[in-house]
């Protein structure tokens, strides 16, 4: 039997998971992900890999797409209220999430549920859920205490989030719920909610948060993420940005193995190959490495056939939007990159965020070190 607690930070209550694993029936192991952005990123794969391990041991995996809770906003780890996506964005993101998760999980053995199925409840049911706790209890969480101390507002919706997530566990009758360490409060709240509804409280298992190249938790909002659907060239290049001192942690959490002795550069290349291969196969890993060698090491442009082509209409073109549409990330991210001289047109650094369409037609845009875009003439 695999050690299902490997890489876990907390397994609560102590000893209960071992008792469950010694039982006669498969466990129902739950993970919820809110579709607040378009992509699942590498940070999510740490907990997805743990979910896959439970699945490999014959347990039932329940992947909850939080299409309802995404409209509320998880306050975990936030110093301010989370910006909420539009209903249209949530719907579009939710449609792609399970396909991305299946890069790690077995499609045929995964139970996928959308929590709008049960959270669009009648007023009486909602009032019954709210009656299971107090405002004082909800305000105990560290995130809220820090915001209260800094006179930062807390939205009423945010107070509801742990109750709604807890009700997910009631709806699917979870035996175990997984989450990152920033989810501990929500997961423990789920135990309280389950007990209030007469169910055996779930076991809580947390996994570490993956620290990115900038020393911060990997996050789409920070722009320091590696989406699973990202093009192999950019995926490989981002993985190569990991500093040497983070390699032991990345090997342990991403590759589930120890860092080998020897050259850190070769270890980093093997890490980048693994990440790219898992999303895009051997051919994608080869393309990513070839692109990295040619563009970053040798300072050249990618093969012309590998450069995406776009067109622009007449008038002025807002370049941050053009880059966002092509490469992802927000307009504000690309505006900062432009202002810092990180975007070039035909090899010349650019500072303007708006350019006439005629100036762009026929040009080669380089965004950062690895991303290129050809504008048709």
In the block, tokens 């722009």 appear at: 223
Distance of CA 63 to the CA centre of its chain: 14
Spell out where the chain has E strands.
10-12, 28-33, 60-65, 110-114, 176-180, 203-207, 309-310, 316-318, 343-345, 348-349, 354-356, 364-367, 371-375
The fold for domain 10-207 equals: Rossmann fold (3.40.50)
For residue 94, whether the previous peptide bond is cis, meaning omega lies within 30 degrees of 0, is: no
Task: Name residue 10's beta-bridge partners.
Answer: 206
In the block, tokens 């035909």 appear at: 346
Q: Please, what is the angle between helix 232-239 and helix 264-292, to 10°?
A: 160
DSSP string, 344-371: EETTEE---SEEEHHHHTT-EEEETTTE
48 and 133 in contact (C-beta within 8 Å)? no
Which residues in the chain are classed under CATH 3.40.50.620? 10-207
- How many of the other CB atoms lie within 10 Å of CB of 236? 31
- How many of the other CB atoms lie within 10 Å of CB of 260? 11
Task: Please give the structure tokens belonging to residue 43.
Answer: 């940070």
Task: Please give the structure tokens belonging to residue 72.
Answer: 């509320």
340 and 242 in contact (C-beta within 8 Å)? no
Task: Please give the structure tokens belonging to residue 65.
Answer: 């797409």
Per-residue pLDDT, 293: 87
Whole-prediction pTM = 0.78
The fold for domain 306-375 equals: 3.10.290
Which residues in the chain are classed under CATH 3.10.290.10? 306-375
Q: Averaged in consecutive runs of 10 residues, what is the pLDDT profile of the chain (377 residues)?
A: 88 96 95 91 95 96 96 77 82 88 93 96 93 88 87 87 96 98 94 96 97 92 88 92 95 95 94 96 94 72 73 88 84 86 85 87 83 83
Per-residue pLDDT, 39: 86
62 and 174 in contact (C-beta within 8 Å)? yes
Per-residue pLDDT, 80: 64
Bin 151: left if φ > 0, else alpha if -120 < ψ < 50, else beta: left
The bridge status of strand 60-65 relative to strand 28-33 is parallel
- How many of the other CB atoms lie within 10 Å of CB of 172? 21
DSSP string, 111-141: EEEETHHHHS--HHHHHHHHTTS-HHHHTTS
Q: Please, which residues have CB within 8 angstroms of residue 298's CB and are 6 or more apart in sequence?
A: none
CA torsion 59-64-65-69 (nearest 10°) is -160
């Amino acid at each position: 039997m695999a050690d299902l607690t490997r890489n876990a930070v907390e397994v609560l209550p102590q000893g209960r998971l071992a008792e469950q694993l010694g039982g006669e029936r498969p466990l129902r192991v739950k993970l919820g992900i809110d579709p607040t952005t378009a992509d699942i990123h590498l940070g999510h794969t740490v907990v997805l890999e743990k979910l896959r391990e439970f699945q490999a041991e014959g347990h039932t995996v329940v992947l909850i797409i939080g299409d309802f809770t995404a409209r509320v906003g998880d306050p975990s780890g936030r110093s301010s209220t989370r910006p909420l996506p539009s209903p249209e964005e949530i719907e579009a993101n939710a449609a792609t999430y399970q396909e991305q998760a299946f890069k790690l999980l077995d499609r045929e053995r995964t139970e996928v549920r959308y929590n709008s199925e049960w959270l669009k409840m009648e007023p009486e049911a909602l009032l019954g859920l709210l009656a299971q706790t107090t405002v004082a209890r909800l305000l105990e969480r560290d995130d809220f205490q820090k915001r209260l101390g800094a006179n930062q507002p807390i939205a009423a919706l945010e107070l509801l989030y742990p109750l709604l997530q807890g009700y997910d566990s009631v709806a699917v009758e979870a035996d175990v719920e997984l989450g990152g360490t920033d989810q501990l409060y929500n997961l423990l709240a789920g135990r309280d909610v389950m007990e209030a509804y007469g169910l055996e409280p779930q076991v809580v298992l947390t996994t570490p948060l993956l620290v990115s190249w900038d020393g911060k938790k990997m996050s789409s909002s920070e722009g320091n993420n590696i989406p699973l659907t990202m093009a192999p060239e950019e995926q490989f290049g981002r993985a190569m940005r990991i500093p040497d001192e983070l390699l032991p942690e990345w090997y342990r959490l991403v590759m589930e193995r120890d860092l080998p002795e020897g050259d850190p550069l070769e270890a980093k290349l093997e890490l980048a190959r693994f990440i790219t291969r898992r999303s895009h196969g051997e051919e994608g890993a080869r393309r990513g490495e070839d692109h990295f060698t040619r563009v970053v090491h040798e300072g050249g442009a990618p093969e012309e056939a590998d450069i995406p082509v776009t067109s622009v209409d007449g008038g002025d073109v807002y370049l941050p939007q053009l880059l966002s549409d092509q490469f992802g990330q927000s307009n504000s991210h690309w505006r900062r990159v432009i202002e810092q001289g990180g975007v070039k047109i035909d090899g010349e650094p650019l500072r303007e965020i708006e350019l006439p369409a005629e100036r762009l037609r026929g040009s080669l845009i380089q965004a950062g070190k690895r991303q290129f875009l050809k504008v048709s003439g």
